[in-house]
Amino acid sequence: MKSRVPLSVEVLRGSVVESQHQVLAVVVDERAVPVLFWGNVDYLTFPRSAIKMLQALPVLESGAAEAFGFEARHICLACSSHRGEKNHIIGVAEMMKKAGIREEQLVCGGHYPANEATAHEMIRRSLQPTPIINNCSGKHSGIIATCLHLKENPEGYDKYAHPAQVRLRKVLSEVTRFDHNKAHYGIDGCGILTYAMPLQNMAIGMMALINPKESERRRVAGKRIIDSVRHEAFYLSGTDDFTSDIIQKTHGRAIIKNGAEGVFCGVLPEKGWAFAVKAEDGNTRASQAATAFLLQKLGVLNEENQTSLKKYLEPKIKNWKGTEVGSIRVKMPS
Amino acid sequence: MKSRVPLSVEVLRGSVVESQHQVLAVVVDERAVPVLFWGNVDYLTFPRSAIKMLQALPVLESGAAEAFGFEARHICLACSSHRGEKNHIIGVAEMMKKAGIREEQLVCGGHYPANEATAHEMIRRSLQPTPIINNCSGKHSGIIATCLHLKENPEGYDKYAHPAQVRLRKVLSEVTRFDHNKAHYGIDGCGILTYAMPLQNMAIGMMALINPKESERRRVAGKRIIDSVRHEAFYLSGTDDFTSDIIQKTHGRAIIKNGAEGVFCGVLPEKGWAFAVKAEDGNTRASQAATAFLLQKLGVLNEENQTSLKKYLEPKIKNWKGTEVGSIRVKMPS
């Protein structure tokens, strides 16, 4: 299963392919060698939130997590794109209190939660979406906590020259083996910088979480992150969401993270492999279907998962009345 | 400008192309001959709501609109995917009252309005989205009104064998020159059937609204629809939305209609041309950018429009804080 042609994700209405997506995927082994790929492994794009577990490494490696007494759920929130549910916000508030962070220090902006019930409750109560509600508030709290622990002024932590960004570039360059000081960068939805890199380097970076080459400190940090995400997967995303569901239902055999514009990155701890997925057009229905397909192909999903994850393995399209009107299928290049 | 290669719509973050879309477009002249195209003009897909103006032809041709005293805004609503604003719902309620339609007769299901302010107001007041709120409620009211006027039992108007669907297939077959009785079909989001056809046939169908070959009755019906949409464009979509904005700002030099999964169809009455656009991956940001690009290329947008429609001609990507972080650009095949 090595092809320079991407996966094709077809969206059917009745028996007709109505829309189609091209999705690139690459899996690397413990030597950081691509063992499976569809599409150009050097495809340059932004990882967005899919590498938040890597962006959280400094929170552990700096000693900030230990110093502030972050528990597993807080570490998971530092890696999360949470859906704004009550327990997510309580968790981030705990992180902020432990580290002494004020909400006005978060530069991420506000938006209503992805979780519809929570969003509707906020609207009913006329509550405005403040930065702590932003799906990235845990990541921002982790970055600021690291600055505070290291006695750095956190102000401007989103700017290129700030010590927090310098540190992130250093760590990301090491784990992805791609020089982030020479990388093109853009501003993410939450204001933090995101650096463009080849797809296979995202997968190589993820390997650091389970098989780091750099140092014992990195090994311990990676293990703590993976353990936290495995045990508190709700805090990585939320209720009834693909990312949390995959981790929970596979009992951590697959640890995955979504990113905006159709990116997924993940590790398979038992196999010692890592992967990265990108829908060329940025569509999440496509990258999600392709990620489920990839996990299936790699034998990560057991018999029980064929049932518990069926809605992701054989996605259906429904209309406003709830009638099934179509489906999504993934096709390998012939 | 005739190419079998689609337009490429690139989404940039900073200076990097983060995601990209392929968009097909075809323009036909008064002889129904493609005079401009990008991509396969015979690309088979569903028109979805982009041909609602054609689906409204029977409302006029049957005499239902006249019999029930439908005014321009009601005819426009029969062609609409409205955004659920207060005046949209008032207008549909007027149609239903005039024709004697009860809300439980609408099979479209409910969803919160696309217009955020209206949706939030409904949520604050704990109002459930009933069928009249559905963006297709005007189309459904038009279909039922036609049945009632023709003394048909409207029950089951969404089913393949119902007289309403038989009539729609006949009209659509005539105007698109594509036999809908042999077409693959699927169920649309609102429960009505949608028929797959080649992209150029969607454009050919739209020509019937400004240059019908079939009959005087069709000419009058098409003119009434175009005049209604030109004068009451708010009722076709809503406030600050691409579809209504294009019609309003061009004073009807471009009459366009969006459909789900990245479709746009339209007519250019002054030129006597019609067009159809489809994003292969179904993405609206892509089909919208390509439609604006197409109108620009065809010389439909005047100097004033370069300013008034700038946000559609040079779309920007903003983050949660409102900072500009990227842009969308359309590239012709080289």
CB contact under 8 A, A190 and B325: no
CB–CB of A8/A330 below 8 Å?
yes
Instruction: Search chain B and give the residue with CA nearest A184.
Output: B16
Domain CATH number, residue A151: 3.40.710
Average pLDDT of the segment spanning A293-297 = 97
CB–CB of B251/B262 below 8 Å?
no
pLDDT at A83: 97
Structural domains in chain B (count): 1
CB–CB of B244/B79 below 8 Å?
no
CA distance A95 to B203: 57
The reply to whether ipTM tops 0.90 is: yes
Strands A34-38 and A16-28: antiparallel
Neighbours of B285 (CB within 10 A): 18
Torsion A26-A29-A30-A33 (CA) sign: negative
Going from the first residue of chain B to its last (334 residues), give the mean pLDDT of each consecutive group of 10, the final group possibly shorter: 95 97 97 96 98 98 98 98 97 98 96 95 94 97 98 98 98 97 95 97 97 88 98 98 98 98 98 97 98 97 97 95 95 92
CA distance A169 to A106: 20
In this structure, chain B runs to a length of 334
Instruction: Give chain A positions within 8 Å (CB) of B184.
Output: 14-16
CB contact under 8 A, B46 and A13: yes
Test the A interface: residue of B8, B13, B115, B120 with most A CBs within 10 Å = B13
Which A residues in the span 125-144 are in contact with B, Cβ-Cβ below 8 Å? 126, 134
Q: Name the packing angle between helices B137-149 and B163-176 (round to 10°).
A: 110
Q: Would you call B158 exposed, middle or buried from its count of C-beta atoms within 10 A (0-12, 13-18, 19+)?
A: buried
- Of B25, B23, B17, B21, nearest to B1 by C-alpha is B25
pLDDT at residue A64 tops 80? yes
Test the A interface: residue of B7, B10, B16 with most A CBs within 10 Å = B16
Q: Tell me the backbone φ, ψ of residue A244, rounded to 5 degrees.
A: -65, -40
Cα-based distances in Å from B288 to A20, A285, A312, B202 = 18, 20, 29, 17
- Of A134, A146, A51, A58, nearest to A92 by C-alpha is A134
CA distance B253 to B269: 6
Q: Which residue has the tokens 């590239």?
A: B331
> Interior CA angle at B332 toward B297 and B18, to 5°?
120
Instruction: Give chain A positions within 8 Å (CB) of B261.
Output: 11, 18-19
* CB-based contacts of B279, cutoff 8 Å, min separation 6: A19, B9, B21, B22, B23, B261, B262, B263, B286, B287, B290
Nearest CB partner across the interface for A325, out of B11, B18, B187? B187
Strands in B147-248 per DSSP E: 185-187, 193-195, 197-198
pLDDT at A139: 98
pLDDT tens sequence across A155-205: 999 999 999 999 999 999 999 999 999 999 999 999 999 999 999 999 999
Q: What is the average pLDDT score of chain A?
A: 97
- Of A58, A205, A84, nearest to A136 by C-alpha is A84
Half-sphere exposure of B328 (CA within 13 A, CB side): 29
pLDDT at residue A212 tops 90? no
CB–CB of B257/B51 below 8 Å?
yes
CB contact under 8 A, B320 and A280: no
Residue A21 identity? H
Number of H helices, E strands in chain A: 14, 13
Instruction: Give chain A positions within 8 Å (CB) of B18.
Output: 45-46, 186, 196, 261, 282
Test the B interface: residue of A17, A18, A318 with most B CBs within 10 Å = A18
pLDDT at residue A115 tops 80? yes
CB contact under 8 A, A280 and B109: no
Instruction: Search chain A and give the residue with CA nearest B325.
Output: A187
Q: Which two tokens stand for residue A103?
A: 């909400």
CA distance A317 to A17: 12
Residue B312 identity? Y
Average pLDDT of the segment spanning A229-248 = 98
CB–CB of A273/A28 below 8 Å?
yes
CA distance B273 to B30: 6
pLDDT tens sequence across A117-133: 999 999 999 999 999 99
CB–CB of B259/B283 below 8 Å?
no
> Interior CA angle at B214 toward B211 and B219, to 5°?
45
CA distance A5 to B301: 39
The minimum CA-CA distance between A118 and chain B, rounded to whole Å, is 12
Q: Residue A328: in which H helix or E strand, if any? A: strand A324-331
Instruction: Search chain A and give the residue with CA nearest B196.
Output: A16
Give the DSSP letter of residue A245: H
Which A residues in the span 89-118 are in contact with B, Cβ-Cβ below 8 Å? 107-111
CB–CB of B118/B88 below 8 Å?
no
CA distance B221 to A26: 55
Instruction: Search chain A and give the residue with CA nearest B20.
Output: A281
CB contact under 8 A, A325 and B111: no
CA distance B70 to B94: 9
The minimum CA-CA distance between B108 and chain A, rounded to whole Å, is 7
pLDDT at residue A334 tops 90? no
CA distance A220 to A210: 10
- Of B82, B77, B138, nearest to B106 by C-alpha is B138
Instruction: Give chain B positions within 8 Å (CB) of A110.
Output: 320
Domain that holds residue A127: 2-331
Cα-based distances in Å from B3 to A49, B36, B38, B39, B207 = 37, 8, 5, 6, 22
Torsion angle of C-alpha atoms B210, B216, B218, B222, degrees rounded to 10: 40
Q: Would you call B151 exposed, middle or buried from its count of C-beta atoms within 10 A (0-12, 13-18, 19+)?
A: exposed
- Of B240, B276, B269, B234, nearest to B253 by C-alpha is B269
Instruction: Give chain B positions within 8 Å (CB) of A190.
Output: 319-320
CA distance A80 to A180: 22
CB–CB of A327/A315 below 8 Å?
yes
Task: Give the max Cα distance, chain A.
Answer: 61
Q: Is A285 on the interface with B (CB under 8 A)?
A: no
CA distance A119 to A86: 10
Q: Which two tokens stand for residue B91?
A: 């207008």
Torsion angle of C-alpha atoms B283, A50, B321, A123, degrees rounded to 10: 80
CB contact under 8 A, A186 and B108: no
Nearest CB partner across the interface for A186, out of B189, B194, B326? B326
CB contact under 8 A, A262 and B13: no
CA distance B8 to A269: 39
Torsion angle of C-alpha atoms B86, B90, B96, B100, degrees rounded to 10: 140
The minimum CA-CA distance between B24 and chain A, rounded to whole Å, is 12
The minimum CA-CA distance between A255 and chain B, rounded to whole Å, is 24
Average pLDDT of the segment spanning A249-254 = 98
CB contact under 8 A, A18 and B189: no
